[in-house]
Homo-oligomer: A and B are copies of this chain.
Amino acid sequence: MIFISIKGCTRGINMEAKVIFDRFLSSRGMRRTAPRDKVVNVFLKIEKHISTQDLYSIVHRTHKEIGYATVARTLKLLDEAGLCRKVDFGDGTVRYEHKYKHEHHDHLACTGCGKLIEIYNKKLEKIQDELVKKHGFIQKSHRLNIFGLCPKCQKRKA
Contacts and interface: CB of A to CB of B under 8 A. Distances in A.
Interface of A: 86, 88, 90, 94, 108, 110-111, 117, 119, 121, 123-124, 127-128, 131-132, 135-151, 154
Given A90-B88, A123-B123, A141 B147 contact: yes
A137 B115 CA distance: 11
A154 B136 CA distance: 9
9 contacts: A108-B137, A119-B135, A123-B123, A124-B131, A136-B151, A136-B154, A137-B146, A142-B146, A143-B147
A144 B144 contact: yes
Contacts of A154: 136, 138
Contacts of A108: 131-132, 135, 137
A132 B148 contact: yes
Contact of A142 (B132, B145, B151): B145
**Max chain B C-beta neighbours (<10 A), residue from A111, A124, A154:** A124
**Max chain B C-beta neighbours (<10 A), residue from A94, A141, A146:** A146
A39 B135 CA distance: 34
Given A88-B88, A124-B127, A127-B121, A139 B132 contact: no
Nearest to A91: B88
A148 B137 contact: yes
Contacts of A148: 132, 137-141
A117 B124 CA distance: 19
Nearest to A134: B119
